[in-house]
Structure 1
Amino acid sequence: MSKTLCEWKKKEIESKLTQLTDIVSPSHYLCKKCARTANDKKYLCKGIKLK
């Protein structure tokens, strides 16, 4: 995946819901810019590790 979650369009979110679930669970990183979470920093624009 080359796009961060911030860049996903609404239609992409709807059509890739299974993939999205895999990306966000379990969450280990939080984006400082958009407050999204993911299990890998590469999915976020400004990811920081959760404590």
Structure 2
Amino acid sequence: MSAKLPKKAICKWDRNTLENALPLLAEQVAHATLICRKCGRAAHEKRLLCKPVRLESLRMGKDGDDS
């Protein structure tokens, strides 16, 4: 397994890539600061999401959220 995550967005990964990168992906999710507006995936690195939005801005009621 490679020590690096693929450069493309998570939703573009094929099944083999996902299986090989799962431990690294788990680390991303554990420290997630972003969520994808399109597919709902979470990550710490912006490049891994197709439409990233900061979780902090959503918690504060910004970005079209009514909370």
- Which residue does the alignment assign to 2:14? 9
Structure 1 runs not aligned, ≥5 long: none
C-alpha distance in structure 1 between counterparts of 2:22 and 2:55, whole Å: 23
Structure number with greater CO (CA < 8 Å, separation at least 6) is 1
Structure index of larger Rg: 2
- Which residue does the alignment assign to 1:38? 43
C-alpha distance in structure 2 between counterparts of 1:13 and 1:50, whole Å: 23
- Which residue does the alignment assign to 2:24? 19
Q: What is the TM-score of this pair, normalised by structure 1?
A: 0.82
Runs of 4+ more than 4 Å apart? none
Q: What is the TM-score of this pair, normalised by structure 2?
A: 0.66
- Which residue does the alignment assign to 2:52? 47
Q: Could you tell me the percent identity over the aligned residues?
A: 33
Secondary structure of 1:16 counterpart: helix
Query: What count of residue pairs does the alignment treat as equivalent?
Result: 51
Secondary structure of 2:16 counterpart: helix
- Cα-Cα RMSD: 1.2
Please report how far the alpha carbon of residue 17 of structure 1 lies from its aligned counterpart in structure 2 after TM superposition.
1.3
